[in-house]
């Protein structure tokens, strides 16, 4: 049984709404960097933020005290359902499952909550903040807003968790009591995350993200959400989802990516949406792509949208679905033509494209992939 | 062919066996110590020494001994660099691997709520206090929620992809339930399932700030219950296609026969008071197993001992079941959050294997609001063929699994068949 994409919702630093973001990507635009600082450090990082005004008309009592990660997720989820033409009523609320993909979770409230404990002691801890620090808080808010009474799952992992969530959705939808599965990837940024990724030697202080370059200069973190409504029918089908695996050391990532690509490239592939983000991931993916699908067009949206970790996998799938649907690939930004891959360096028509691979290599040992086919 | 492409050739769902298990919790290291603590209804809750609790109402928790944990893993490469949650997962998986060295899962599904949270705390404290940050890369590398299961798999050469479910306190039961469904559907033949969580200051203070944690003894379902105590640990179960396991002559420890999940959407920290969410999860588990409530012999309740949880769960149980013996083993070991469902699945496994009812300790006075058959204070022998395990979490997520005693040989009717 294959599943199809029936609707999508997008909240990104480059804008909101699938058509708007897609058009800007096709035009070669990229998100604007915002400096992010912290009172206890002189170090300033650059991040791609979602504009607060973008979410002003998403309101619900459950979101009044919710962190940005929950609001991004709610907005993307609601728009995905709207684009699928799906209105949830009590009688069909049991027939939809909700799966969230998250990496760092509600880090803003987590830091605020713990800061009070450290500064003033346990008695200063806020009972209002604590529930928002829990990984499944965004999922529980959206479930409550939608009235979902059935299965709700939050998956945690690295950048590959979004694709893994689709694989899990496929397993859930094998149960015929479900008609739909809403999969949401979401992430918010805090200075603390930037600092942690820098200490891991994965972050650069200012843009751009230069994919597949000779030197891995690092990535720029971004925030937002992506949501996909999976159904039995839709405009693009998930033909095969690969559960992936994990690598013990960064140098071993290439091996598992090759395995995923070999499994997914059993049929003719028109393009690959990669997770290249200016880090070691690029080398691993480049080697795997050159060996398994050397003449296939490759696109990465991370230079334009940033590395949104928990949301990244969903964004990649949405990019692939949009490209299959519109028969065009946006330009890969900040890549030079010396890269040994067939990069889509300018806006590229792909009029006969039918199949695409989404390849996801996370920064913390996890990988996954899937293959889409247009109807 | 990857496992996602495997489909069952018939319409009959596969039966799902538990063929090996491993556990570490305040009750003990391994199944034998756990059984001994359960049989003797031991109170394993002790004063918290790991971080300061002077400003907290609650000052106790169920804790795993650090010195013993680290001593167990001195031989592991990079020993001393991992997070405690990783060591607990390694300990639990080691026990499972010793029972079934040949077990090669195609997928791993685990639950957790906080992964290596205490390393995140150290990192933050060092940052704001201009402390020694030389070890920060190690803290950060071991902080992600998925790291302990990857470490454990690495220690034993297991390469299965990992799905890490973070559904708050229901995570462990959700992980086992999802793993059960993966095998039952025929998509997978062997799945490793479980859960882990280690005590962390932030989480401890969080529950304390909600006044969900008690300064007294943890007394689930007691009229004078006053809240939960936290715990920690890890547990894993090897789930396999039962028929295929039997063909290979693999000993079957128990059979998982049903799983139910629901969302009640009432409040982010409180269950819907009537217990509708809990009831739906239990009903769905019964439906999934094709059995009736009368077939259940023992319920391992979520039973956190908070006023609201026990009232809602008690109402749901008394509405569905007629006098089935119930206990919350959290009274003995505390609430280990993402690990709880997995550890309590082990408790059910031992109850089924050893034919006894684990105790709900610190129980003094029945609650007049709910009519429950509590296994008060002492474990007792009983015929236990089917056990139900409940887990409910923040955000209104509810999960129940049903486990049956080691089943009859293949060829006999499946559960629920006429």
Contacts of B128 in chain A (CB under 8 A): 40, 115, 118
Any A CB within 8 A of B397 CB = yes
Contacts of A152 in chain B (CB under 8 A): 167, 261, 263, 395, 397
With a CB cutoff of 8 Å and minimum separation 6, the contacts of B145 are A135, A156, A157, B112, B114, B115, B116, B164, B166
Q: Measuring CA to CA, how many Å separate B394 from each of B46, B169, B264, B309, B366?
A: 25, 7, 10, 11, 26
B302 tagged catalytic: yes
Radius of gyration from C-alpha coordinates of chain A: 19
Per the prediction, chain B carries an average pLDDT of 93
The one-character DSSP state at B166 is -
Q: Which CATH architecture has domain A237-374?
A: 3-Layer(aba) Sandwich (3.40)
Length of chain A in terms of residues written: 375
CB contact under 8 A, B396 and A143: yes
The dihedral through the CA atoms of B123, B125, B128, B133 has a sign that is negative
Query: CA angle, B353 as apex, B349 and B356 as ends, to 5°?
Result: 90
ipTM score of complex: 0.97
Q: Read off the pLDDT of residues A179-197 as tens digits, 9 standing for 90 and up.
A: 999 999 999 999 999 999 9
Instruction: Pull the structure tokens for residue B176.
Output: 């086992």
Other Cβ atoms less than 10 A from the Cβ of B348: the count is 26
By CB neighbour count within 10 A (0-12 exposed, 13-18 middle, 19+ buried), where does A60 fall?
middle
**pLDDT confidence of residue B372:** 97
CB contact at 8 A, A187 and A102: yes
Percent of chain B with pLDDT over 70: 93
Per the prediction, chain A carries an average pLDDT of 95
In chain A, list all ranges with CATH 3.40.47.10.
3-231, 237-374
Q: How far apart are alpha carbons A35 and A47 in whole angstroms?
A: 6
Catalytic residue among B44, B56, B58, B169: B169
List the single residue in A167, A172, A199 with the smallest CB-CB distance to B136.
A199
Q: What are phi and psi of B346, to 5 degrees?
A: -65, -40
Q: Measuring CA to CA, how many Å separate B409 from each of A10, A150, B243, B412?
A: 52, 34, 9, 6
Any B CB within 8 A of A137 CB = yes
Q: What are phi and psi of A303, to 5 degrees?
A: -60, -30
Instruction: Pull the structure tokens for residue B237.
Output: 């179960």
Confidence of residue A82 (pLDDT cuts 50, 70, 90): very high
CB contact at 8 A, A220 and A209: yes
Instruction: Pull the structure tokens for residue B372.
Output: 């429950």
Other Cβ atoms less than 10 A from the Cβ of B70: the count is 15
Domain A3-231 indexed as CATH 3.40.50.300: no
> Quick one: closest CA in A to B165, which residue?
A155
List the single residue in B147, B178, B280 with the smallest CB-CB distance to A149.
B280
Instruction: Pull the structure tokens for residue B189.
Output: 């033949």
Give the alpha-carbon dihedral of A24, A25, A26, A29, to 10 degrees. 70
Q: Read off the pLDDT of residues A124-146 as tens digits, 9 standing for 90 and up.
A: 999 999 999 999 999 999 999 99
Contacts of B209 in chain A (CB under 8 A): 122, 125-127, 130
Catalytic residue among B56, B58, B302, B348: B302
Is residue B404 scored above 60 in pLDDT? Answer: yes
Quick one: fold of B16-405?
Peroxisomal Thiolase; Chain A, domain 1 (3.40.47)
**pLDDT confidence of residue A144:** 94
CB contact at 8 A, A360 and A160: yes
Q: What pTM was computed for the model?
A: 0.96
CA distance B259 to chain A (A): 11
Q: Which helix (H) or strand (E) holds A196?
A: helix A191-199
Q: How far apart are alpha carbons A88 and A95 in whole angstroms?
A: 9
Confidence of residue B79 (pLDDT cuts 50, 70, 90): low
In 3D space, the residue among B263, B146, B161, B162 whose CA is nearest the CA of residue B196 turns out to be: B146
Percent of chain B with pLDDT over 90: 85
Q: Read off the pLDDT of residues A292-347 as tens digits, 9 standing for 90 and up.
A: 999 999 999 999 999 999 999 999 999 999 999 999 999 999 998 777 899 999 99
Q: Which helix (H) or strand (E) holds A164?
A: helix A161-173
Confidence of residue B285 (pLDDT cuts 50, 70, 90): very high
Mean pLDDT in residue range A59-66: 89
């Amino acid at each position: 049984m294959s599943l199809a994409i029936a609707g999508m919702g997008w909240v990104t630093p480059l804008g909101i709404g699938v058509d708007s973001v897609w058009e800007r990507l096709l035009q070669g635009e990229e998100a604007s960097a915002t400096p992010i600082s912290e009172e206890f450090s002189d170090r300033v990082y650059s991040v791609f933020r979602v504009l607060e005004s973008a979410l002003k008309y998403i309101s619900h009592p459950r979101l009044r005290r919710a962190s940005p990660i929950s609001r991004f997720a709610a907005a993307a989820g609601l728009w995905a359902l709207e684009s699928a033409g799906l209105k949830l009523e009590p009688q069909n609320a049991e027939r939809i499952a909700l799966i969230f993909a998250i990496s760092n979770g509600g880090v803003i409230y987590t830091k605020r909550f713990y800061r009070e404990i450290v500064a003033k002691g346990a008695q200063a801890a806020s009972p209002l903040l604590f529930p928002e620090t829990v990984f499944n808080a965004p999922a529980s808010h959206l479930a409550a807003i939608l009235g979902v009474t059935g299965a709700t799952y939050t998956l945690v992992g690295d950048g590959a968790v979004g694709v893994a969530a689709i694989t899990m959705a496929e397993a859930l939808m094998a149960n015929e009591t479900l008609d739909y599965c809403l999969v949401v990837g979401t992430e918010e940024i805090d200075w603390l995350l930037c600092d942690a990724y820098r200490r891991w030697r994965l972050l650069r202080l200012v843009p751009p993200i230069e994919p597949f370059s000779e030197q891995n200069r690092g990535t720029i973190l971004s925030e937002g959400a992506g949501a996909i409504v999976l159904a039995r029918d839709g405009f693009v089908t998930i033909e095969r989802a690969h559960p992936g695996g994990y690598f013990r050391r960064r140098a071993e990532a290439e091996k598992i990516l090759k395995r995923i690509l070999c499994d997914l490239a059993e049929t003719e592939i028109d393009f690959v949406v990669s997770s290249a983000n200016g880090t070691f991931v690029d080398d691993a993916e480049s080697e795997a792509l050159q060996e398994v699908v050397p003449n296939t067009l490759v696109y990465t949206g991370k230079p334009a949208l940033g590395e949104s970790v928990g949301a990244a996998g969903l964004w990649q799938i949405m990019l692939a679905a949009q490209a299959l649907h519109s028969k065009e690939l946006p330009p890969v930004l900040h890549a030079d033509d010396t890269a040994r891959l067939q990069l889509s360096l300018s806006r590229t028509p792909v009029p006969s494209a039918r199949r695409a691979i989404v390849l996801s290599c996370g920064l913390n040992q996890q990988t996954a992939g899937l293959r889409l086919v247009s109807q | 062919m990857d496992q996602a492409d495997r489909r069952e050739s018939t319409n009959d769902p596969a039966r799902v066996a538990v063929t090996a298990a491993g556990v570490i919790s305040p009750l003990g290291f391994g199944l034998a110590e756990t059984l001994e603590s359960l049989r003797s209804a031991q109170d394993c809750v002790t004063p918290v020494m790991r971080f300061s609790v002077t400003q907290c109402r609650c000052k106790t928790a169920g804790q795993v001994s650090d010195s013993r944990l680290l001593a167990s893993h001195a031989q592991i490469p990079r020993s001393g660099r991992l997070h405690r949650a990783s060591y607990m997962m390694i300990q639990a998986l080691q026990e499972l691997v010793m029972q079934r060295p040949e077990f090669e899962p195609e997928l791993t599904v685990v639950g957790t709520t906080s992964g290596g949270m205490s390393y995140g705390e150290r990192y933050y404290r060092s940052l704001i206090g201009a402390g020694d940050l030389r070890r920060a890369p190690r803290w950060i590398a071991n902080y992600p929620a998925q790291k302990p299961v990857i470490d454990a798999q690495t220690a034993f050469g297991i390469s299965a992809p990992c799905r890490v479910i973070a559904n708050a306190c229901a995570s462990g039961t959700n992980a086992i339930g999802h793993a059960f469904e993966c095998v039952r559907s025929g998509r997978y033949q062997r799945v490793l399932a479980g859960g882990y969580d280690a005590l962390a200051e932030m989480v401890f203070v969080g529950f304390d700030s909600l006044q969900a944690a008690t300064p007294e003894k943890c007394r689930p379902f007691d009229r004078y219950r006053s809240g939960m105590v936290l715990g920690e640990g890890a547990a894993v179960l090897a789930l396999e296609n039962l028929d295929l396991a039997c063909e290979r002559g693999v000993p079957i420890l128990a059979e998982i026969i049903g799983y139910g999940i629901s969302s009640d959407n009432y409040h982010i920290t409180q269950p819907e008071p009537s217990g509708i969410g809990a009831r739906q999860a239990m009903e769905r588990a019964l439906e999934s197993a094709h059995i009736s409530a009368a077939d259940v012999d023992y319920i391992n309740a979520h039973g956190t001992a908070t006023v609201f949880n026990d009232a809602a769960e008690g109402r749901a149980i008394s509405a569905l079941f007629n006098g089935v013996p119930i206990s919350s083993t959290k009274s003995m070991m505390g609430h280990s959050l993402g690990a709880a469902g997995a550890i309590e699945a082990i408790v059910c496994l031992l109850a089924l294997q050893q034919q006894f009812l684990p105790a709900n300790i610190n129980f003094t006075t029945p609650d007049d609001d709910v009519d429950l058959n509590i296994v008060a204070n002492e474990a007792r022998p009983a015929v236990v063929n089917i056990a139900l395990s409940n887990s409910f979490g923040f955000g209104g997520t509810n999960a129940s699994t049903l486990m049956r005693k080691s089943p009859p040989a293949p060829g006999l009717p499946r559960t629920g068949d006429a």
